[in-house]
Structure 1
Amino acid sequence: MSNSRRRMSVLVAGHAVNDLYQGAVPAVVPFLVAERHYSYVAAAGITVAATLLSSVVQPLFGHLTDRRAMPWLVPVGMAVAGAGIGLSGLSESYLFTWLAIALSGLGVAAYHPEAARLARRVAQDNHVGMSWFSVGGNAGFALGPVLVTPVLAFGGLAWTPLLAVPAVVGGTLTALALRGVHGAAASVADRPGRDDWGQFSRLTVVIVARSMVTFGLGTFLAIWVTHRVGGGPVAGAAALVVLFGAGAASTLLGGVLAGRWGRVRVLQVSYAVAVPAVAGIALVPGPLVYLMVALTAVALYVPFSLHVTLGQDYLPNRVGTASGVTLGLAVSVGGLGSPVVGAIAGKWDLQWGLLSLVVLPVVAWAAARGLRSPRSMRV
C-alpha cells in the first residue's frame, strides 16, 4: 500500500473515531436520565453542550488554522473528544457532567478543520478520496451508540472511562501515520487565490437546507414508518438503517459522479431529485416508503463530501474556516428545523410535518442553481 493510501486510510479511520463521540452523546443521555433522574430539560442541556457549542467554535478553530497550520490538532482533538466522554459518568455533579460533554464537543470541533485540510492534501485533490474521508465521519457517528450502549448497559456510568480507549489508540496511530505530511501541510495559504464569499454564502444556504431535511427525517422517520407500514419499532428502525446505510454508500458515489460531471452539476441534480423523493416518503403507501427513503438518502448524501471541497475552493485562503463551517456550523444549525416539523405535526399531523420538509430541497436546489465551479478541482 502506498504512503498516500495508508495515510488516507488512517484519516478515514480517525474521522470515524472522532465522530463516534458525536454519536455517543445521544446514547449516553438515556443512562444519565435513568441513573441520575435528569429531567428532559437537563437531558437537552447535555445535548446542547455537545452539539451547539461544538458547532459554534468549529469555525473559530478553522480561523486559527488559517492563520497558522496546526496539524497536532488532529490527534489531540480526537483524544480530547474521547476524554470528555470518558469523564462524563464519573461525578454526580450536573455541572461536571455538562463540562465533560462540552469538553468532548470542543475536541470534535478542534479535529475537523485541520483534518479536512490534511485529507484534501493526502487525497491529492481526488474527489473519491475526500468522499472516503466523509464516509468515515458518517460511519463513526452511526457507530457511537453501538459502542456506548453495551458498555454502559453492563457497567453503568462508572464504566464511561472505557469509552475513551478508541480515542487514545486512534489519536496515537494518527499522530504516527501523519508525521510525514505535517511539513507539507504547514503552508496556510494552501490555494492562493481570491476568496469568493458570495459563492460560499450560497453554498452555506444549500448545506443548512440539506441539514434541516436530514435532521427532520432522523427525528421523525422511524415514527412515521411505524405508523405507515406497521411492524412496530423494528419497521421504524429498518427505515433509519436504509436512510443512513444508503446515505453512507452514496457519499462515495458523490465523489465518482463529481469526477465525471463536476461538483456543481451533481449538487443541482441531487437536490432536484430530493424534492419528489422527500415528498414520496410522506405520500406513498405501504412498504414503498422504503424505496423513497433509499432515493432520499442517495439524493441527500451524494453531495455531502462535495460541500466540503467546494467550500475550501471558494475560500482558498481560509480553508480551515471553510471546513469548520461546512463540516460544523452549517450542518448543526440544521437541527433547529426539527422543532418546526414537530410543531406542524402537533397542529395537524405527522404527514403534514414531513411534507413541510419538501420546501427545503427546493431551497437547496434554487441556491445550488447559482453556484459556479471554482478553479480548483473544476472537473
Structure 2
Amino acid sequence: MTTLRSRPASGAAPIAVLAAGHAAVDLYQGVVPALVPFLVAERGLDYGSAAGVVLAATLLSSIVQPLFGALTDRWAMPWLIPAATAAAGIGVGLAGLFGPYALLCAAVALSGVGVAAYHPESARLARAASGDSHTRMGWFSLGGNIGFALAPLLVGPVLAAGGLGATPWLALPALAAALFTAPVVRALAARAAAGPAAEGAGAGRRDDRAAFLWLSAVIGCRSVVFVGLSSFVALYAQQRLGRTDSAVGTAALFTLFAGGAVGTVLGGWCAARWGRVRTVRLSYAAAVPAVAGLLLVPGQVALYGFAALISLALYVPFSLQVTLGQDYLPSRIGTASGVTLGLAVSVGGLAGPAIGLLADHTGLRTALAPLAVLCALAWALARRLPEPGGAPAGPVAPEAVAAVPVAPAGRAGQP
C-alpha cells in the first residue's frame, strides 16, 4: 500500500506555495465581512441587509463546494485552483461597482463560487504534498488564516481612500496568486499522475458515515459562531467603545482573524501530542468562556483580548476537522473536503441574517449571546467523535501518522 510519504510530490516547498495560494483565496472570504461597515456607512444598509451580503457570498458557495468535491474524487482538475483563485478576486472586484443590491449580492456570490471551487482540489493536493503530516497540513491551513487576517488590513485603507468604487483594486492579489501558483499546481498534479500506482484511500478501511455526520454537526456550530462574529464584531467594537471610525472595527476584525494563524499551527502541534479528537474537544470547551468574555467583560483590552482567545479556540480544530473528515470518509476524500470546508461557511452564512434581524430589534450584544451556547453544543457533539481507525484520543505516534494511506491527487476513491 503506497503512502503519501513515499511520493515525490511531498515536501515543504510545494506546501509553502499552496499555502500562499490559500492565503490569496481566503483573503476574499475575509474581505466580504470587512466590507460590511463600509456598506452600512456608504449604502445605508441595515444589519439584516448587510448580513444578506455575507449570506450571498456563502450560500451558493456551500451548495456547490461538495459538488466540486465529488467531481474531483473522479477526475483530476488541477486547473480549477488558479481559475477559482481568479474568480474569487474578480467577484469582489466587481462588488463595489454595482449600485443595486441584487447585483452586489451576485458579485460576491461569484467570489464565493470561486472559493468553493478552489478548496476540494487544493485540499487534496496539499495532503498529497504534506506526506500526511498534521503539521504540514497545518501550514497549508495557516495560509488561509493569514489571508483572512490580512483582509481587513487590505480593505480598510483601500476603501477609506477610494470608497466602494475602489473594490477593483482588491482583485489584484487573486490575479497575481493565480499566475504564481499555476506552475506548481501543474507539477504536483503531473507527479501524482506519474507516480507509482496506489490503492484507493478506502482500501482496507470503511467509511464511518455516523462519525462524519457528528463531525459535520460540530463544524456547523463552529460556522455559526465564526461567521456571526466575523460579520458583526467590527460594528460591535465600535458600539462598545463608543467610536465611529472604521479603525476600531478593523482592529477587532483583524484580531479575530489573526489569532487563527497561531491557532492553526498550534492545532497541528497539539494533535501530534494529544490526538485530533481530544484537541477538538478542548478547543470548543475553551471557546465558551472566550465568547462570554467578549460580550460581558467591559474595556478595550478585554474586548481585543477575548477576540484573540476566540480566534485561537475556533482555529485550533480547523485543519484537524478537515483531515478527520477525510479519514471518516476515506473512499471519498474530495467529497469529505468539500462538505467539511463548505459547512465551515454555509451554516454560518444562513444564520447571519437571523443574527442581523435580531440585532436590529434587540441590539448586537443580545443577538451575539447565543453563540456562547453554540460553542458548548459543539463541545458536547465533539464528545461523540472517535479517533479514525479506532485509535484512542491520545498522542499520535509519528510512525503511525506516516503510515496512513491517501489516494493519489485527483483520483481518490475512483471506482
TM-score, normalised with respect to structure 1 = 0.85
What's the CA shift string for 1:81-121, capped at 9, x where partnerless? 22333445667777666544433222211111000111111
Aligned equivalent of 2:139: 132
CA contact (8 A) 1:281 1:289 kept: yes
What's the CA shift string for 1:257-287, capped at 9, x where partnerless? 0011100010111112222232233333444
Q: CA 1:188–1:362 in 2, change beyond 3 Å: closer, same or farther? A: farther
Of residues 242-251 and 155-164 in structure 1, the stretch that sits farther from structure 2 once superposed is 155-164
Is 2:329 the partner of 1:315? yes
Question: CA offset at residue 207 of structure 1?
Answer: 0.8
Aligned equivalent of 1:326: 340
What's the CA shift string for 1:188-228, capped at 9, x where partnerless? 94453321111111001111111212223334444555555
Q: CA 1:158–1:343 in 2, change beyond 3 Å: closer, same or farther? A: closer
Q: CA 1:71–1:274 in 2, change beyond 3 Å: closer, same or farther? A: same
Name the % identity: 56
Q: CA 1:257–1:317 in 2, change beyond 3 Å: closer, same or farther? A: same
Question: CA offset at residue 57 of structure 1?
Answer: 0.7
CA contact (8 A) 1:82 1:165 kept: yes
Is 2:79 the partner of 1:102? no
Q: CA 1:110–1:34 in 2, change beyond 3 Å: closer, same or farther? A: same
Aligned counterparts of 2:258 and 2:98: Cα–Cα separation in 1: 36
Is 2:11 the partner of 1:4? yes
Question: CA offset at residue 334 of structure 1?
Answer: 1.7
Q: CA 1:94–1:360 in 2, change beyond 3 Å: closer, same or farther? A: closer
Q: CA 1:343–1:254 in 2, change beyond 3 Å: closer, same or farther? A: same
Is 2:208 the partner of 1:208? no
Aligned equivalent of 2:79: 72
Aligned counterparts of 1:293 and 1:303: Cα–Cα separation in 2: 17
Aligned equivalent of 1:195: 207
Question: CA offset at residue 341 of structure 1?
Answer: 4.4
Is 2:65 the partner of 1:51? no
SS of match in other structure, 2:206: coil
Tell me the C-alpha RMSD between the 2 structures. 3.4
Matches within 5 A, 1:142-157: 142-151=149-158, 154=161
SS of match in other structure, 1:178: helix
Of residues 107-116 and 277-286 in structure 1, the stretch that sits farther from structure 2 once superposed is 277-286
Matches within 5 A, 1:200-279: 200-225=212-237, 237-279=250-292
Equivalent in 389, 392, 406 of residue 375 of structure 1: 389
Aligned counterparts of 1:160 and 1:357: Cα–Cα separation in 2: 31
Aligned counterparts of 1:138 and 1:66: Cα–Cα separation in 2: 25
Equivalent in 130, 139, 155 of residue 123 of structure 1: 130
CA contact (8 A) 2:30 2:147 kept: yes
Aligned counterparts of 1:284 and 1:99: Cα–Cα separation in 2: 39
Q: Which amino acid aligns with 1:297?
A: S
Question: CA offset at residue 174 of structure 1?
Answer: 1.1
Q: Which amino acid aligns with 2:281?
A: Q
Aligned equivalent of 1:164: 171
Equivalent in 314, 320, 333 of residue 300 of structure 1: 314
Comparing both chains, which one has the higher relative contact order based on Cα–Cα distances under 8 Å and sequence gaps of 6 or more?
A: 2
Q: Which amino acid aligns with 1:356?
A: P
Aligned equivalent of 2:25: 18
Aligned equivalent of 2:412: none
Question: CA offset at residue 143 of structure 1?
Answer: 2.5
SS of match in other structure, 2:388: coil
CA contact (8 A) 1:266 1:303 kept: yes
What's the CA shift string for 1:157-195, capped at 9, x where partnerless? 666554433223211221211333203545794453321
Q: Which amino acid aligns with 1:214?
A: F
Q: List gaps (5 residues or longer) in structure 1.
A: none
Aligned counterparts of 1:297 and 1:83: Cα–Cα separation in 2: 28
Aligned counterparts of 1:285 and 1:46: Cα–Cα separation in 2: 30
SS of match in other structure, 2:389: coil
Aligned counterparts of 2:144 and 2:93: Cα–Cα separation in 1: 20
Aligned pair count reads 377
Aligned counterparts of 1:271 and 1:333: Cα–Cα separation in 2: 17
Aligned counterparts of 1:237 and 1:106: Cα–Cα separation in 2: 25
Question: CA offset at residue 289 of structure 1?
Answer: 4.5
Matches within 5 A, 1:351-362: 351-362=365-376
CA contact (8 A) 2:222 2:344 kept: no
Q: CA 1:350–1:165 in 2, change beyond 3 Å: closer, same or farther? A: closer
CA contact (8 A) 1:243 1:296 kept: yes
Aligned equivalent of 2:408: none
Of residues 249-258 and 266-275 in structure 1, the stretch that sits farther from structure 2 once superposed is 266-275
Q: Which amino acid aligns with 2:220?
A: V
Q: CA 1:148–1:268 in 2, change beyond 3 Å: closer, same or farther? A: closer
Question: CA offset at residue 242 of structure 1?
Answer: 3.1
Q: Which amino acid aligns with 1:293?
A: A
Of residues 161-170 and 252-261 in structure 1, the stretch that sits farther from structure 2 once superposed is 161-170
